[in-house]
Amino acid sequence: MSTPAPREAVHDFSRKLRQPSLYGRVVDYVAWQRQVRAAKARGEAGPAMPDWSPLSINLDLTTACNYACDHCIDLEILNSGIAYEEQALRASLKEMAARGLKSVILIGGGEPTVYPGFAGFARYLKDLGLAVAVVSNGSRNEKILEAAERFDAGDWVRLSLDAGTDATFQAMHKPKKPVTLDHICAGITRIKAANPAPRLGFSYIITWKGATSRGADDKIVENLDEIPLAARRARDAGFDYISFKPFLTRREDGAEVMDPAQAEAETAAVVARIRARLDEAKAFASPSFKVLESANLKMLESGAWQAWTQQPRMCHMQALRQVLTPLGLYNCPAHRGVPKARIGEKDAYASPASCHTTAAGTAGILERFDASVECREVTCLYHDTNWWLEEAIEGQGLDRADAVPEGGDWFL
Ligand code: SF4
């Protein structure tokens, strides 16, 4: 049932999960699911899920944001004023690290560097031995600089910039305090000088007129033609790579999807324009600077994206990667903030007792959340990983001997 598609190594989640640092948990998870299903077939209750934490989390440090981007998919949950209690959050990460957590992506909901004590918190994650990544809008690079010396070679920082010119940057992001694209790019030099180890990325969501059929198209600022300009700018600023991905929208029930109506109407023409600009951008690639295309961009281009909307009933990634936000614990970034995707409270992992409750909550959502229905419009990057695990559960299980060499990338 899995549909292989060309993809960058960073999006090859099945291979990542077979690294020795992660694979033991995956093998154990599959063995546990096999026991649960065998018990169910006998009409018995299966074993409880052990008090595992996920292997990787998206951690929304705050819902506050200092931009007002017209293409933001998290508008509904921004600036809610709901916050963590720092000690409880630190306790949560400590408990999770003790239960198998390997990596943390500090990301939105809001802008992570707006979180008070951002740098101290990032250093705390490193003290726990976790791999750390930051997805930021770039407006407060000095906060990232404060933590930069603690980052390792497997860690990364990715700035969501989406423009080749400052005029387009301003129109798309509407920063509440003045900041220019030049200023943000200059900050990259300082972070590199402080520590060249973490990879620094320039992220570019490609937008075009007609990118949504949901009545908000007048607000879309088109940046498609600035793809080559952005690649040159990223290279000159000292980024390690630029990555391009197509605009996603949120369906009315909250799922993050490629808009199917748009895809049917105008995909071919838009994809041809994107391809031409990407080919120009690739001229700026070098051994020290990569031009990357997201897996869903390749799927959009190949026309294969609809196959990636066919999920197994049970999404196994819910047990391996979760989203912790000030609004609660959720099963997936594509359903962040959506009530039926909620597993627990923001302090779901803050103590041994709550970890125990949350393990039951995770086992519950594995049964309850029908991904074949809830994610039927999501071009899910975990599609083939989910099918691989489903087939292992229904088949012979997994064998630790099938691990691949350690690559040091534990982000899911
Ligand atoms: S199937 Fe994909 S989109 Fe749906 S919850 Fe799982 S990982 Fe998320």
For a pocket test of ligand 1, which of 57, 315, 331, 343 has the largest count of ligand atoms closer than 8 A to its C-beta? 315
Give the residue ranges of the chain where pLDDT is below 70: 1-7, 68-80, 211-219, 248-266
Residue with tokens 């570019």: 204
Quick one: pLDDT at residue 2?
Answer: 45
Determine whether the shortest distance from the Cβ of 375 to ligand 1 is under 6 A. yes
pTM: 0.90
Contact between 52 and 359 (Cβ < 8 Å):
yes
Distance 327 CA to ligand 1 centre (A): 19
- Nearest-10 crossing angle of helices 227-237, 260-282: 50
- Close Cβ partners of 106 (under 8 Å, ≥ 6 residues apart): 59, 61, 112, 118, 122, 132, 133, 134, 135
Contact between 132 and 103 (Cβ < 8 Å):
yes
Q: Which atom of ligand 1 is nearest to the CA of 256?
A: 3
- What's the Cα-to-Cα distance from 244 to each of 37, 93, 156, 189, 294, rounded to whole Å? 41, 31, 17, 22, 6
Query: DSSP 3-state assignment of 298?
Result: helix
DSSP 8-state secondary structure symbol assigned to residue 334: G
- Quote the CA–CA distance of 34 and 163 in Å, as a whole number: 48
Quick one: pLDDT at residue 176?
Answer: 82
Q: Which atom of ligand 1 is nearest to the CA of 331?
A: 5
Which protein residue's CA is at the shortest distance from atom 6 of ligand 1?
A: 315
Contact between 346 and 325 (Cβ < 8 Å):
yes
Query: 12: domain range?
Result: 1-412
The encoded tokens of residue 384 equal 């083939």
Distance 132 CA to ligand 1 centre (A): 22
Contact between 206 and 247 (Cβ < 8 Å):
yes
Residue with tokens 């819910």: 318
Query: DSSP 3-state assignment of 238?
Result: coil
Determine whether the shortest distance from the Cβ of 378 to ligand 1 is under 6 A. yes
**CATH code of the domain containing 285:** 3.20.20.70
Quick one: pLDDT at residue 354?
Answer: 97
CA torsion sign, 343 to 349 to 353 to 359? Answer: positive
Number of domains making up the chain: 1
